[in-house]
Amino acid sequence: MDKPPPKQQRQKTKAKTRKTSPSRHQHTPTETSQKALKGFQEQPIHTAHSIQDDLLEKIKKGTYTMTIAPSDLVDFGGQKSFDMTHQLFIQHKGTFILMFDGRLGLYTELEEYPQGDVTAASMLVHWINSVLTYCTKSDDKMPRIVFAATHSDSFSEDEKKKLIEKFQEELTQMFSSHKLHEHILYDKVFFINATDVADLEIDRLKDELVDIAFQQSTWGQQMPIVWVPLDLQISDMRTDGVKLITKEKLFEMNKYNDKLALSERRVEDFLLVQHSIGKLLYFNEPALRDFIVIQPSAMVNILRAFITDRMFWPDNGPIRDILENLSSTGVLTKTDLFTLWLQPAFKDILMNDRIKEYVVQLQLWLLIPEMNFKFM
């Protein structure tokens, strides 16, 4: 991947696909119009597969250069109930946007926490410590943590400016002395209006995220070009809604790449690197290595079956009873887990018993320090 141009030269572009077709007429075209139509060629309609074929052709010729940097976004659940899922998605090279309600500020007690003494400030401290716990210190100061306040539409322009200054002063006071303060952009707050698609503050936030990405040590790092076909095949499967695949299925896909097919050892290298940058989940453990989660956000939905805040529980019924028992005892039986997975929200992910068993083993491996599963 090429190094990025200077900031002042970077401009946002929108790719447009043109589709041209000859006009339909009710009358018989004249000889002149027939001659004109004879030389007419309809513009090609590009699809994901046709683009992939073009890229593969360029790879074979050695002329392919990647000029687009893919980016994966994960929306974390901010409630404490979701803490144990953080380790699935927190990556060393990630950028994290911590958001709070700008109407309430940092020190108003939050109503959804009846125990009291819980404010946006205390939640931000909790999240920052969670993020930095899973990440090691490095020269590139990654991960980075950015702050955004919401509901700016509730204030006038003058009020917004004053609040931004106030938030920045408060965050600076909170985090400037943190032992890992170089990871925390505490002197800048983006006050956004999520209801406005043209909100300039959101554009500023996006520009900041791009700038952080360009500062990463991995930007411009050479990646094996023979990985591209397999990467494109997995991308196609994501587009088609596939969440998990078996490793044997991946090996089968790889064979179709003919001269660009990877050896089994190279496929393993590919998976480990893709996992390290958060594009997929692959754990090289005896009970886990047969599956690959190609859509990491699917794990959020799977875990949502039993790791969920009380405000999202059903009012009554067997699901409520299971969650109540889990909350009070910390024990979840395998029978109850499978009952939770019978809900419609999970059927398109957990499609067979083999996948369910893999997810059970994955949960045991990841969550056992946090939670006690009792299988019956």
Q: What is the mean pLDDT of residues 105-121?
A: 86
What CA dihedral angle connects 160, 164, 170 and 173, to 10 degrees? -160
Q: What is the mean pLDDT of residues 77-91?
A: 61
Per-residue tokens: 79: 């409630």
Lowest-confidence region among 3-7, 60-64, 288-292: 3-7
Q: What is the mean pLDDT of residues 241-265?
A: 90
Q: What is the mean pLDDT of residues 264-270?
A: 93
What is the structure's pLDDT at 56? 64
**For residues 364 and 58, what is the distance between their CA atoms, to the nearest angstrom?**
44
What is the structure's pLDDT at 208? 92
Higher pLDDT, 154 or 56: 154
Percent of the chain with pLDDT over 90: 31
Q: What is the mean pLDDT of residues 86-91?
A: 63
**For residues 52 and 68, what is the distance between their CA atoms, to the nearest angstrom?**
14
What is the structure's pLDDT at 11? 41
Please check the confidence at residue 29 and state whether its pLDDT lies above 50: no
Question: Residues near 280 by Cβ (< 8 Å), separated by ≥ 6?
Answer: 234, 271, 274, 292, 293, 294, 295, 296
What is the structure's pLDDT at 257? 84
Higher pLDDT, 53 or 265: 265
| pTM for the model | 0.59
Residue type for position 99? M
| pLDDT tens-digit series, residues 67-83 | 655 565 666 666 555 65
What is the structure's pLDDT at 114? 73
What is the structure's pLDDT at 66? 56
Higher pLDDT, 53 or 176: 176
Q: For residue 16, what pLDDT band results from cuts at 50, 70 and 90? A: very low
Q: What is the mean pLDDT of residues 340-350?
A: 86
What is the structure's pLDDT at 85? 60
Q: List the Cα angle 325/327/330 in 5-degree steps.
A: 85
Structural domains of the chain ordered from first start = 46-67+222-376 (no CATH), 94-215 (3.40.50)
| pLDDT tens-digit series, residues 126-182 | 888 878 876 666 667 788 899 999 999 999 999 999 999 999 999 999 999 998 898
Q: For residue 296, what pLDDT band results from cuts at 50, 70 and 90? A: confident
Q: What is the mean pLDDT of residues 266-278?
A: 87
Q: What is the mean pLDDT of residues 297-317?
A: 79
3-class SS string, the chain: CCCCCCHHHCCCCCCCCCCCCCCCCCCCCCHHHHHHHHCCCCCCCCCHHHHHHHHHHHHHHCCCCCCCCCCCCCCCCCCHHHHHHHHHHCCCCCEEEEEEECCCCCCCECCCCCCCCCEHHHHHHHHHHHHHHCCCCCCCCCCEEEEEEECHHHCCHHHHHHHHHHHHHHHHHHHCCCCCHHHEEEEEEEECCCCCCCCHHHHHHHHHHHHHHHHCCCCCCCCCHHHHHHHHHHHHHHHCCCCEEEHHHHHHHHHCCHHHCCCHHHHHHHHHHHHHCCCCECCCCCCCCCEEECCCHHHHHHHCCCCCCHHHCCCCCHHHHHHHHHHHHCEEEHHHHHHHCCCHHHCCCCCCHHHHHHHHHHHHHHHCCCCEEECC
Please check the confidence at residue 108 and state whether its pLDDT lies above 80: yes
Lowest-confidence region among 57-61, 92-96, 108-112, 357-361: 57-61
Lowest-confidence region among 8-12, 159-163, 236-240: 8-12
What is the structure's pLDDT at 64? 59
Higher pLDDT, 344 or 68: 344
Please check the confidence at residue 31 and state whether its pLDDT lies above 50: no
